Amino acid sequence: MSADLDFPTLLSLLDDRSAAFRGVLAAAPDLGAEVPTCPGWTLHELAQHLGRGQLFWAAIVAAGPAETPPPRPVEVAPAEREALVAWFAAATEQLLGALRAAGPGAPCWAWWELAQSPRDTTAAARRRLGETAVHTYDAQLAAGLPAAVPAEVALDSVEEFLLTCCSTTVPWPHAPATLAFRATEGPGWYLTLSPAGVRATRTAPAAAPDATLRGSAAELLAVLHGRTPIDDLRPEGDAVLLHQLYDWDPDA
């Protein structure tokens, strides 16, 4: 399945969502505020987590093809607001710089060996875009500045999540089924669950899906990332299948 966003656009949107996250850090009344969608984390801890993630993937991309990832960053993010914003900006620029230097489609390590996403810089950029977009949403909620993930970002991130986090060659442990995810902006995606694993596609199956989830791309993304309960979007068909997918851990 090909992506609709080209590599420069992915990097531009990643930069934009990172800037939005920095904007929340600069405007939030309290960096110690709890993040309701990330229980147990404060806004400062969320910034540290996301910044470390940018640094980790910058190192992954810079290393090129590898059998194992580089060590995860453990540095503590600054507590003072201005320094924290600057630290996060520098972490983002390291990631963007590494991606620009490597270029699109360059091989690199990735944890999704069994998924449909390639193990390369384009897939890494899509993964970081989705992570940054969702955590920016988290930060906005914590700061009392709620805002939906922009549609262009959400559309790509829903597809990326299905390809990277849902697809696998691990056998589906329940009866075979097909799930549909329909965005109000137009696109639709389908997951085929079978003994051969889970596969994502934009091509509608011949038979009607066993369950369908409809909403804006931002709403679908929130469900996929566990920010919104599945039943809030009023699934059509056998909703149990959607819960089974959400609860399934192929690595268990």
Give the residues of the chain that fall short of pLDDT 70: 1-3
Q: Where are the alpha helices (DSSP H) in the chain?
A: 7-27, 43-63, 81-102, 121-142, 151-161, 217-224, 239-247
- Which pLDDT score is estimated for 1? 38
Superfamily grouping for domain 158-247: SCP2 sterol-binding domain (3.30.1050.10)
**Tens digits of residue pLDDT in 121-170:** 999 999 999 999 999 999 999 999 999 999 999 999 999 999 999 999 99
Rounded CA gap, 214 and 185, in Å?
10
- Which pLDDT score is estimated for 187? 84
- Tell me the CATH number of domain 7-147, given options 1.25.40, 3.40.640, 1.20.120, 1.10.10: 1.20.120
From the centroid of its chain, how far is CA 181?
16
Instruction: Write down the domain spans for the chain.
Output: 7-147, 158-247
- Which pLDDT score is estimated for 2? 41
